[in-house]
Structure 1
């Protein structure tokens, strides 16, 4: 694993904490979930696709109980759907405490924030996860 590169990408994503959500945005004035990933990976000079569904294809599938920092995690918009509509990046894990923190651009008033992917709300919307090939 490339710990330093993973830390750089997470650090860049965290620079956007509190940035308001804007569909199609990728600046501090407003950003969406896939735009946040685009900006984060540019910190290490790596380009990723602009759309969340395409970002799932940039690496290998990872099971939810094997997630590590830097993995991309994907969600849908309502329980039962499988179409990817949202992406975030794992920032830390503590499986003993049922915690998989991830950063994402939320449409809530908080904007870019971190949340626990193992919380019931997110588990109902979970689609899958990918370990980007740039980190393997």
Structure 2
């Protein structure tokens, strides 16, 4: 069942909550955004590319107002840029209250955390989103 796979992947990603950010990292001692997605998908035995930009290619494009848990959401590092530099995974949505929560490895002191993709900060950096083929 797809919903069960989605919850397994999200659950694995949440095991990393609070882990510090480390560029190129792939463990609880330090992990980056694409490494977090790699670890999460390994929970269901599904391999994904190591780099955020390549991870965008593993699914079908989804509009921001159609996101569901398990979708990958991509960002850039500066407004107006379209080069993908960051990835997270949608964990829950509540469009009535303008909430699309996603988990990601932040370079802030919080490390792996959840945030709202509809917050102004993230909207300025939003590039797009995909639904991984393993969930379709």
What TM-score results when the alignment is normalised by the length of structure 2? Answer: 0.99
Aligned residues: 136
CA distance in 2, matches of 1:124, 1:29: 30
| Residue ranges of structure 2 left out of the alignment (5+ in a row) | none
Instruction: Map 1:14-93 to 2 at 5 A.
Output: 14-93=14-93
CA distance in 2, matches of 1:11, 1:103: 11
What TM-score results when the alignment is normalised by the length of structure 1? Answer: 0.99
* Residue 89 of structure 1: how far off its partner (Å): 0.0
CA distance in 2, matches of 1:120, 1:17: 23
Q: Which residue of 2 aligns with 1:121?
A: 121
Q: Secondary structure at the match of 2:19?
A: coil
Could you list the structure 1 runs, at least 4 aligned residues long, displaced by more than 2 angstroms after superposition: none
CA distance in 1, matches of 2:73, 2:82: 13
| Residue ranges of structure 1 left out of the alignment (5+ in a row) | none
Instruction: Map 1:5-20 to 2 at 5 A.
Output: 5-20=5-20
Q: Secondary structure at the match of 1:17?
A: coil
